[in-house]
Structure 1
Amino acid sequence: MINNRITAMLGVQYPIVQAPMGWIARAQLASAVSNAGGLGIIETSSGQLDEVRGEIKKMRELTDKPFGVNIAQAFVRDPDIVSFVVDQGVKFVTTSAGDPNKYCSALKEAGLTVFHVVPSLAAALKAIEAGVDGLVVEGGEGGGFKNSRDVATMVLLPLVCSKVKVPVIAAGGMVDGRTMAAAFALGAEGIQMGTRMVSAAESPVHQNWKDAILGAKETDTVFLNRFGPGPALRALRTEKTTVMEKDPPEGGAMGEFRNALALYFGGDMEASIALSGQVAGRIDAVRPVAEIIAETVAEFHETCADLGARYGKA
């Protein structure tokens, strides 16, 4: 057990959260994370709320541990998304990709704990003003949708932590116990894993995507859509995304997601965009979630103890 504000607020054993990836962050993966002592998150960014409702029902069949739901505001199609989330009976929600003022008050009035995902200090301070309970501070090296003016975790995380008093979960580059220890040294009290969980044994994505992560170098991601239209994003380097990096499609990268399921579950790596963080360069095996979390926690404690022994004052 790691005792801090994050584990107390979320009711979990370890302050390790799984990123809310569209179509991927569903019961199969999220329940494995919760059962291993972390916090599984169910996505809504796919927009398939009927399916999401079913996934939440499955979660309750697969785990009796806490889990949360994400509201990715830029992709919300249901004006009653707050009622939808509240009706699912969850106690924790992350909001992202939008104004924290939009849903924070209504969610908190319903008794939920709310964390907002932020890519900059200005966004963090805006979320604090909105009344959030905590922050997910996401560095630009992480996969998925990004601020076009990306800032690395090593810069962003200590900056935000020096200016806010709420608990912080670090995202972007988080993959093992050493990165977790580094995040805690910079002020975080929890970490969020995305790419590591995409490549996990319980991840529902096609093996071709997992193999692409295992084969990737640390330089094998591209930053797309920096100048719009639409959100910027970080993805694995493929033939398609290499072309898009220099010659963005008319209308931006978002149109490529109309074929997302052919990549995600059909294995055609050129059909769409495989979102991924730079940390793909550090992942060399598909591992069960329970092993990933257990080894992360063990290495975290070992790293902290080793640093204390080597550099602590006598």
Structure 2
Amino acid sequence: MNPKAIHNRITEMTGVDYPIFQAPMGWIARAQLASAVSNSGAMGIIETSSGEFDAIKGEVAKMHDLTDKPFGMNVALAFVKGTNVIDFVIEQGIKFVTTSSGSPNLCTRQFQEAGIKVFHVVPTLDMALKALDAGVDGLVVEGGEGGGFKNPQPVATMVLLPLIRERTEVPIIAAGGICDGATMAAAFAMGAEGVQLGTAMLSCTDSPVHPNWKNAIYQGKETDTVFLNQQGRPALRAMRTERTGELELLGQFQPFEHMANILDLYFGGDLEAAIPLTGQVMGRIHEARSAADIVTSTMTGFYQSLSRLDASYGQ
């Protein structure tokens, strides 16, 4: 029996049963993974940060073949400068977009005029308030625990989420450090109405990345990530490897010089070929599970957490 669906502002906006969103990882967040997430009742997301628009258009077509459930796209603005990405996304006929790595002023109105809901990713309160000024429909509040490109001054989700919640009224998706029902319940207690899972989905059986990376996550500890380029932009959180251990000693470097062979890492399994962007929750992920199992167990654990709290502290 499937867990009970959630009814809140985010599920009403998106049409999903469960307000669990798969992170939009470049080259990884494509139809194989996103369709599995959407078919589980959550929200699969197709990336555009790779810039491979012809391939991405094909992935969107695959999504329509693989699922009749809602799915969305992400626009990482800094990665697709000088392209027609806004028109491209509108042409795909989707109704939900997350934007990141740039000003939402560049695209929010155009997306909304096309009937698309826009949530912008923010790592600080100031950026959240600027996104609201741009008119976004909601926010993805991303703590520094998460993997990927980061603000050089990271703020933990437990600090950032309630801070932004008390200053805003729009729906919030919490990201960073979330991988199960207990962390989802904690995020909801702090004001979120949805959660985004990155490393958990990266390492699931439906993810296309090489088993070497997945196995390194299963075997890793909570201390096995590094925070890189903190004196530059963008900063990054990544798995500790020989390469990233050396980069950790540098206060500033050019990250994209170390991403040239990223596909050798993602799909060839060479963890030293590039920077393996991974969140601290790798220390809590110990086995291979499907996207559907992750969504179902997260929702089950969410309700169990609420029941346990009510039994212990309810009035």
- Tell me the secondary structure at the aligned position of residue 304 of structure 1: helix
How far did residue 133 of structure 1 move? Answer: 0.3
Q: Which amino acid aligns with 1:208?
A: N
The 5 Å alignment of 1:192-231 reads 192-228=196-232, 230-231=233-234
- Tell me the secondary structure at the aligned position of residue 254 of structure 1: helix
Q: Distance in 1 between matches of 2:102 and 2:240?
A: 27
CA spacing shift, 1:248–1:163, aligned 2, 3 Å = closer
Q: Higher mean Cα deviation, 14-23 or 97-106?
A: 97-106
- Partner of residue 247, structure 1: 250
Q: Give the aligned length.
A: 311
- Partner of residue 300, structure 1: 302
- Tell me the secondary structure at the aligned position of residue 45 of structure 1: coil
- Tell me the secondary structure at the aligned position of residue 191 of structure 1: strand
Q: Are 2:146 and 1:133 aligned?
A: no
Q: Is the 8 A contact 2:265 2:271 kept in 1?
A: yes
How far did residue 20 of structure 1 move? Answer: 0.2
- Tell me the secondary structure at the aligned position of residue 27 of structure 2: coil
Q: 1:263 aligns with which of 251, 262, 265?
A: 265
Q: Distance in 2 between matches of 1:247 and 1:104?
A: 36
- Tell me the secondary structure at the aligned position of residue 101 of structure 1: helix
- Tell me the secondary structure at the aligned position of residue 274 of structure 2: coil
Q: Which amino acid aligns with 1:152?
A: A
The 5 Å alignment of 1:29-178 reads 29-178=33-182
How far did residue 254 of structure 1 move? Answer: 1.7
Q: Deviations over 1:11-60 (max 9, x none)?
A: 00000000000000000000000000000000000111111111000001
Q: Is the 8 A contact 1:174 1:279 kept in 2?
A: yes
Q: Distance in 2 between matches of 1:211 and 1:129?
A: 43
Q: Deviations over 1:76-131 (max 9, x none)?
A: 04531111000000000000001111111111111110000000000000001100
Q: Deviations over 1:160-208 (max 9, x none)?
A: 0111100000000010000000000000000000000000000000000
Q: Is the 8 A contact 1:114 1:132 kept in 2?
A: yes
Q: Deviations over 1:251-275 (max 9, x none)?
A: 5222111100000000000000110
Q: Are 2:17 and 1:13 aligned?
A: yes
Q: Is the 8 A contact 1:47 1:77 kept in 2?
A: no
Q: Is the 8 A contact 2:229 2:250 kept in 1?
A: no
Q: Percentage identity across aligned positions?
A: 61
- Partner of residue 238, structure 2: 235
Q: Are 2:28 and 1:24 aligned?
A: yes
- Tell me the secondary structure at the aligned position of residue 99 of structure 2: strand
How far did residue 240 of structure 1 move? Answer: 0.5
Q: Higher mean Cα deviation, 58-67 or 239-248?
A: 239-248
Q: Distance in 2 between matches of 1:237 and 1:5?
A: 38
- Partner of residue 289, structure 1: 291
Q: Which amino acid aligns with 2:48?
A: T
Q: Which amino acid aligns with 1:36?
A: S
List, as ranges, runs of 4+ consecutive aligned residues in structure 1 with deviation greater than 3 Å. none
Q: Distance in 2 between matches of 1:72 and 1:247?
A: 26
Q: Is the 8 A contact 2:177 2:280 kept in 1?
A: yes
How far did residue 74 of structure 1 move? Answer: 0.8
Q: Deviations over 1:272-312 (max 9, x none)?
A: 01100000000000101111100100010010011011001
- Partner of residue 314, structure 2: 312
Q: Distance in 2 between matches of 1:253 and 1:69?
A: 24
Root mean square deviation, CA, Å? 0.9
- Partner of residue 184, structure 2: 180
Q: Which amino acid aligns with 1:238?
A: T
Q: Distance in 2 between matches of 1:77 and 1:312?
A: 51
Unaligned runs of 5+ in 2: none
Q: Deviations over 1:133-154 (max 9, x none)?
A: 0000000000001000100000
Q: Which amino acid aligns with 1:126?
A: K
Q: Distance in 2 between matches of 1:100 and 1:174?
A: 25
- Partner of residue 4, structure 1: 8
TM-score (norm. length: structure 1): 0.98
Q: Distance in 1 between matches of 2:221 and 2:240?
A: 10
Q: Distance in 2 between matches of 1:245 and 1:36?
A: 38
Q: Distance in 1 between matches of 2:83 and 2:168?
A: 31
